[in-house]
Structures are given as structure tokens and as C-alpha cells.
Amino acid sequence: MPVQIVYVTAALMVAAVFPLPADFVDIIHVVVFGTFAWGAYRNLHPGSPTLLLALAYAVFAVLFNPLSRVTLPDPAWIGVDLAGAILLLISRRYIAQ
């Protein structure tokens, strides 16, 4: 996955902090889910030092799963969005090729 996709996903997560139409939020969930699912797959190696990172990516993938929505209050989603964006930016070298 190119690093530009990681940057776009982080930007979408920051944009999700603001009130947006429901259809745009659905698109954000699909993009974020795909990025975190790919990150979990890329870092899932037995005995790897990035196994904890793969677990963190998997948790975010579950939270942003577009098929089975997790219901959280708006302040909690703001924290999740910002934490996910920060995690992506900090760990971009482990997810990008």
C-alpha cells in the first residue's frame, strides 16, 4: 500500500471529527477499515516485534467495520478518530510498502 493512502486515510479520520453527512461517514468507514485491515495483515507474523501493532490495527478495523457497526457516543468517536489518525501517521512505515 502506498504511503499516500495512509496519509489520505489519516486525513479522512481527522475530517470525521466534524459533522458530516451519513453517506460520507460510510465511505470513511470503508476506507479506514480497509487500511487498518491491510495493516493488520502486513504486520501479522509469528514472533514479529510488530505483533502488538497488528493487534492495534485489528482493533481499529473492528471499530470501523462497515458491515457490523459499533455504536459509540460522538465524543468517543472523536477520540477514536484522532487516535487512529495518530497511530497511522506514527506507524506509517510498518503499513506502507
7-64 pLDDT per residue, tens: 999 999 999 999 999 999 999 999 999 999 999 998 887 777 788 899 999 999 999 9
Of the two residues 46 and 69, the one the predictor is more confident about is 69
pTM of the model: 0.91
pLDDT > 70? residue 69: yes
Residue 15 in 3-state DSSP? helix
Q: What is the pLDDT of residue 97?
A: 64
For 27-58, b where at least 16 C-beta lie within 10 A, e where not — what string? ebbebbbbbbbbbbebbeeeeeebeebbebbb
Q: What is the pLDDT of residue 51?
A: 86
Domain carrying residue 26: 3-95
Count how many domains the chain has: 1
